[in-house]
Structure 1
């Protein structure tokens, strides 16, 4: 296993993590921003108000995109396992 192979694995791991985690993080960020704007305009200063909408959006995202996310993780894991199996030590 050389340095190029390790860098390729790390690059693909980061790409896969961004691909899988990105939609959840982006939607959570957007909902948090919208709730914050709503709080600022109505002057409601309840700290727990952002928790429930974010939780609902994350649950919906996982329900709708969970299968795709799981398939991406399975592809990555299968590739890593095949690389491990091919290493001659």
Structure 2
């Protein structure tokens, strides 16, 4: 395998990882900011107040975006990796 094909495939794989992780990370960021603002306004500093809602939001977003993640990974595998494995 030529180096340019290897690096191009690696670049595409890393970009797909960024695309797949973006929705979940954005939800975690927004929920963390909202909860942090709530804690600052109410002076409640409870660790479970930050952890449980953020975990629930991440799980909900994972369930919502699971189809997109599966389609993206399957497409990358079938369109890019399988032809390289076969040798075409």
Report the TM-score when normalising by structure 1: 0.89
- Alignment correspondent of 2:67: 67
- Alignment correspondent of 2:34: 34
Compute the displacement of 1:49 (Å).
0.9
SS in 2 for 1:44: coil
Compute the displacement of 1:85 (Å).
1.2
Alignment length (residue pairs): 87
Structure 1 runs (4+) greater than 2 angstroms displaced: none
Report the TM-score when normalising by structure 2: 0.89
1:1-89 → structure 2 map (5 Å cutoff): 1-78=1-78, 79-86=80-87
Mark the runs of 5 or more structure 1 residues left unpaired by the alignment. Answer: none
Q: How far apart, in 2, do the equivalents of 1:55 and 1:85 lie?
A: 41
Compute the displacement of 1:25 (Å).
0.8
Pick which of 74-83 and 28-37 moved more. 74-83
